[in-house]
Each structure stands twice: as C-alpha cells, then as structure tokens.
Amino acid sequence: MMEEMVGRLRQKARFRLKMLVVQLKRLKRFALRVRKTAGHHPEITSSSGTSYAFGKQETLALIEQMLPDRSTGILDVGPGRGKYGALLRERGYRSIDAVEIYGPYIESFGLSTIYDKTHHMDVADFKYDFYDVVIFGDVLEHLTVKKAEAVIAYAKTHSTLIIVAVPYLLPQIGSQLDGSGDHRQPDLTRDLFLRRFPGFILLTDNDQIGVFYLLTDRSRPQA
C-alpha cells in the first residue's frame, strides 16, 4: 500500500514537472513574440555589438597604406555598432557596405546611416562581386571552422585585402536570441589561427586579441 502511494506521488510529481516545463516554454515563446511585436530587444545591452579597441588604428593605417584611394570599396562583416564604418568615414572613405546577421542590431545601432548598404544575412550566404577590402572584425570566432574556411576562401577570390580580428581563448554564449553571438572557435590563439587560415600575416596582437591580414593577387575588375 505504501509503495503504491509513493509510486502515485512520484507519477504526479513527474507530470507536474512536465507541465511546468511546457508552461515555461509557452512563456518563453510568448515573450519572444512580444519582443518582436513591440520592437523591444532587452537582450541588447550597453555592451552589445562592441568590439576591442585594440588593433583598430593599425587596421586603419594598413588600409590607408595599401589602398589610399578614398573610392576604395570596403565590406565590413559583422559591424556591430558600426565602429569600423564610422572610423573609415572620418578618414574620407566613401564606399562602405556591411553585412550583419542579427537583424535587431541594424535598427538599434542605426547601421543604415553609417553604411551605403547594410545586408541582413549570414555572411556565409552573402555572394558579392568584389570589394577592395573585406574586414572580419570579431567575426570568425562565431563561425565553425568549416564555415570560416569557406568564407575566407570566397573573400580570397573576391577582394584585394582581407583583415581579420579575433579574440584569443574566449568561450562565449552570446546574448543574441538566434545564437549568432556564440563562439564556435573559442580555442583560437595566434599560432592556431595561422594554421587554420594559412597565408595570413600577423599585423598586431596582445594576450587577448590578434589582428591579421592577407593581400590577395586579385584586383578590382575593370568596368
């Protein structure tokens, strides 16, 4: 009798737990719908879309040295708050586009006011004809090795100068609701990056971040 009663209590407890899980999932789904409907994104905080200041001046100096023409076409991949775009505008560069995977960033950070064109999509699916410069600032660590290799391979045949900034040894679960902010290469170091992406040259680094570049043999097709 006692064992039977205990069994029924356990069964009820398991059922209530399952119902609680169902309710939590419903609440989460409802919350996501409210956010989407109201245009409110509580996952976006004061630190969202930011990147390391380290290496940016060296990056800008490299672009000015290699491609001083201010009509140079530049693609900023994963622009976040648009820091690279703003800095390049200050230096007179006139043709700057961006590709951003996380839609709420585009509106929240006013990316359409910084870039000529802001493409809302995964860079792995973005096929472009040619950019003189492609900047991957704090982007590759969010991609799997296979996807990152494919993205870099495409850039090698569709640009002249590729610049990559990545954090070293940084696991991360991002706040973005679609998971795009998670780090899928948290093991990156200077040596590992150079092994995974041969041909790149170290521009500058410290114990937290490395900036690398690759000069391809491609140039803008003649019109």
Please give the structure tokens belonging to residue 64: 């000015």
pLDDT tier at 33, thresholds 50, 70, 90 = very low
Residue 29: the pLDDT is: 40
Q: In this predicted model, what pLDDT tens digit does every residue of 118-162 receive, in sequence order?
A: 999 999 999 999 999 999 999 999 999 999 999 999 999 999 999
More confidently predicted of 22 and 193: 193
List the chain domain ranges.
1-40, 56-215
Nearest to 95 by CA among 125, 62, 132, 58: 132
For 95-157, what is the HEC assignment? EEEEEECCHHHHHHCCHHHCCCEEEECCHHHCCCCCEEEEEEECCHHHCCHHHHHHHHHHHHH
CA dihedral 119, 125, 129, 130 (to 10 degrees): 80
Calculate mean pLDDT across residues 18-39.
Answer: 50
Question: What architecture is the 56-215 domain classified under in CATH?
Answer: 3-Layer(aba) Sandwich (3.40)
Mean pLDDT of the chain: 86
Q: In this predicted model, what pLDDT tens digit does every residue of 49-71 receive, in sequence order?
A: 667 789 999 999 999 999 999 99
Residue 67: the pLDDT is: 97
Beta-strand pair 159-167/209-215: antiparallel
**Residue 106 to residue 115: CA distance in whole angstroms:** 10
Q: In this predicted model, what pLDDT tens digit does every residue of 161-170 receive, in sequence order?
A: 999 999 999 8
Beta-strand pair 209-215/201-205: antiparallel
pTM: 0.80
More confidently predicted of 103 and 84: 84
